[in-house]
Amino acid sequence: MLKTNSILDVVGNTPLVKLNKFLKPARFDLYAKLELLNPGGSIKDRTATKMLLEALKQGQINQQTTIIESSSGNLAIGLAQACAYLNLKLICVMDINSTLTNRRLVEIYGATIDLVIEADPYSGGFLQARVNRVNQLLDLVSNSFNCNQYANVNNPKAHHQTMAEIANELSNKVDYLFVATSTCGTLRGCAEYIAQEGLNTKIIAVDAQGSVIFGDKPKKRLIPGHGAGIVPELFQPNLSSSHILVSDLDCILGCYQLLEREAIFAGGSSGAIASAILRYEEVIPSGSTYTF
Residue-wise pLDDT for 36-78, tens only, equals 999 999 999 999 999 999 999 999 999 999 999 999 889 999 9
Task: State yes or no: pLDDT of 122 exceeds 90.
Answer: no
Task: State yes or no: pLDDT of 278 exceeds 60.
Answer: yes
Q: List, in sequence order, every residue forming a beta bridge with 31; answer none if it has no partner.
A: 18, 291
Q: What is the pLDDT of residue 121?
A: 82
Is residue 2 a part of any domain in this protein? no
34 burial class (0-12, 13-18, 19+ CB within 10 angstroms)? middle
Q: What is the pLDDT of residue 224?
A: 85
Do 34 and 49 lie in one domain? The reply is: no
Do 187 and 121 lie in one domain? The reply is: no
Do 161 and 190 lie in one domain? The reply is: yes
Do 158 and 282 lie in one domain? The reply is: yes
Do 124 and 180 lie in one domain? The reply is: no
Average pLDDT on 223-229 reads: 89
Question: What residues have CB less than 8 Å from 251, skipping those under 6 apart?
Answer: 208, 223, 226, 268, 269, 271, 272, 275
Q: What is the pLDDT of residue 247?
A: 96
Q: Cα separation of 267 and 101, whole Å?
A: 13
Do 106 and 33 lie in one domain? The reply is: no
* Phi, psi for 129 (deg, rounded to 5): -65, -40
Q: How many CB atoms lie within 10 A of CB 113?
A: 19
Q: Give ∠ CA 251-252-258 in degrees, rounded to 5.
A: 90
Q: What DSSP character marks residue 198?
A: T
What's the pLDDT tens digit per position in 144-182?
999 999 999 999 999 999 999 999 999 999 999 999 999
Q: What is the pLDDT of residue 1?
A: 53
Average pLDDT on 234-262 reads: 96
Do 52 and 27 lie in one domain? The reply is: no
What's the pLDDT tens digit per position in 175-201?
999 999 999 999 999 999 999 999 999
Is residue 1 a part of any domain in this protein? no
Is residue 163 a part of any domain in this protein? yes
Do 21 and 87 lie in one domain? The reply is: no
Strand order in the sheet with 144-145: 112-116, 89-95, 66-70, 144-145
Do 28 and 159 lie in one domain? The reply is: yes
Q: Which of 119, 145, 171 is where one domain is finished?
A: 145
Q: Cα separation of 6 and 55, whole Å?
A: 18
The least confident of 67-71, 263-267, 283-287 is 283-287
172 is in which domain, residue-wise? 7-38+153-291
Q: What is the pLDDT of residue 139?
A: 97
Do 24 and 68 lie in one domain? The reply is: no
Do 199 and 285 lie in one domain? The reply is: yes
Average pLDDT on 254-267 reads: 97
Is residue 229 a part of any domain in this protein? yes
Do 285 and 235 lie in one domain? The reply is: yes
Please report which confidence band the pLDDT of residue 24 belongs to, taking 50, 70 and 90 as the band edges. confident
Q: What is the pLDDT of residue 218?
A: 87
Q: How many CB atoms lie within 10 A of CB 59?
A: 7
Q: Which of 125, 145, 165 is where one domain is finished?
A: 145
Specify the pairing of strand 112-116 against strand 176-180.
Answer: unpaired
CATH number at residue 12: 3.40.50.1100
Question: What residues have CB less than 8 Å from 195, skipping those under 6 apart?
Answer: none
Domain count, the chain: 2
The H or E element that residue 17 is part of is strand 16-18
Q: Which of 128, 145, 162 is where one domain is finished?
A: 145
250 within 8 A of 272, measured Cβ to Cβ = yes
